[in-house]
Amino acid sequence: MKKAGTMFVKNLRYLCLVGAIVLGLMTIVGTGGGGGGGGGASSDITYTGLETQAAIDENNAENLLTGAYGGGSIGTKFDINAIQSGESVHIGRPVALKVSRVLESSLRKVDFASRSGGTFSGAIKTVSGQDNGSCGGTFSYSISYDDTTGDFTGSFTFNDYCEDDTTIDGGVTFTGQVDINTEDLLKFTFSFNSLSYTSGSDSFTLNGNIAWDVTVSPITITMTMYFRDNSTNKVYWVQNYTIELTEETGYVDIDVSGRFYHPDHGYITITTSPPLRINDGDEYPFQGVIVVEGKDGTAGGPTRARLTVIDNSEYQVEADTDGDGFYDDYDSGVLNW
C-alpha cells in the first residue's frame, strides 16, 4: 500500500493547483447584494445567498477572475485601484490549496500497509496512530483496509494541527480503493463537516467533499463545498465541479467546469478553453484561458469575463459586460501574478 500513497502524492501536486483555480471563488467581491433562496450545506453551514445568475460588469470582472484563480483572502483585501494603475498585486496561496496540502501531507505520514500497531479480522486490517504538526498540534488517524478487495476507509482528527503556517481543527473522513496487485491508487474521497481553517488573518469553516478517479484518462476530480468566512459569516458554495487532469512530460493540462455561488451576486459558471498548462515546478500556468459566465446582458447574450494567461508571470483580464459576444467592454491591460 506504500506505493499507492506515493502515487497519490504525485497527483496531489497538480490537484492542489486545481484547487487554487476553482475553490478560490469563495472570496470573490464586487458590487451588488441582496437576500436569497434556500440552498443548504448541513446543520452547521447553510447557504442563504442569491441563487440567480450574477451579472458581470466592469466593476467586478477582475475580482471575479483573480478571485477564481487566487482565492484565499484576496477577495476581501483586493485593491482594485492598484490593479487598474498597473501595479503588481500578488495572488497568494488560496485556502483550498493550503487545506489540500495539509490533508495530503497527513495522509502521506500514514503507512496503510504497516502491520505494526494494526489488528486483523479476516481480510480486514486496522491501523491507527498519531503524528505531530511541524509548527504545532497533532492529528490522529484510524484506517481499515481490505486486502482482498483493495477498499479502505478511515478518518483523521486534527487538533490545532499546523503545517506550512496553516492550522486545521476537526474531523475528516476518507474512503478509497487501491489495486491489490499493483498497489496503485484507484479512487479517493475526502469528506469534512465543520473543518476549521486558519492562516494568518484568514479564518474559514469548511464543509464538503473532494473526490477523484485515477482509473480514467484524463484523471477526473469532482467537488462540492461550502465555505463560511468567519470574519463576515458569509457562506459561499461551489457545486458539482468537474476537473480533468492530463499529465504530460514536463507539464500538466487542467480543464475545469462548474458553478460557484456568491451570496451577494448569485452564481457564475467557470470553464477553461484552452486548458491551463502548468510546467512542473511552477506555481502559475504559462498558457490557457479562464472564462466566467453570468446572466444575459443588454445585447441578449451572457455577460462574461476572460483571464488570458500571457506567461507564468503575467495575465490579462477582459470583459463582455453587455453580452454581445465581444470582449471589448473592459480591458485590464497586462497584470502580474
Residue 139 predicted with pLDDT over 90: yes
The pLDDT of residue 210 is: 82
Note the pLDDT of residue 66: 63
pLDDT band at 68 (very low <50, low <70, confident <90, very high): low
The pLDDT of residue 155 is above 90: yes
Stated pTM of the model: 0.75
- Three cell numbers, residue 274: 484552452
305: region left, alpha or beta (phi > 0 left; psi from -120 to 50 alpha): beta
Q: Are 266 and 51 in contact (CB under 8 A)?
A: yes
CA 166, 8, 291, 333 dihedral sign is positive
What value does the mean pLDDT take over residues 78-95?
Answer: 37
pLDDT tens for each residue of 230-241: 888 888 888 887
Cβ–Cβ < 8 Å for 166, 97: no
Among the listed residues 28, 29, 30, 47, the one whose alpha carbon sits nearest the alpha carbon of residue 38: 47
pLDDT confidence tier of residue 27, bands split at 50, 70 and 90: very low
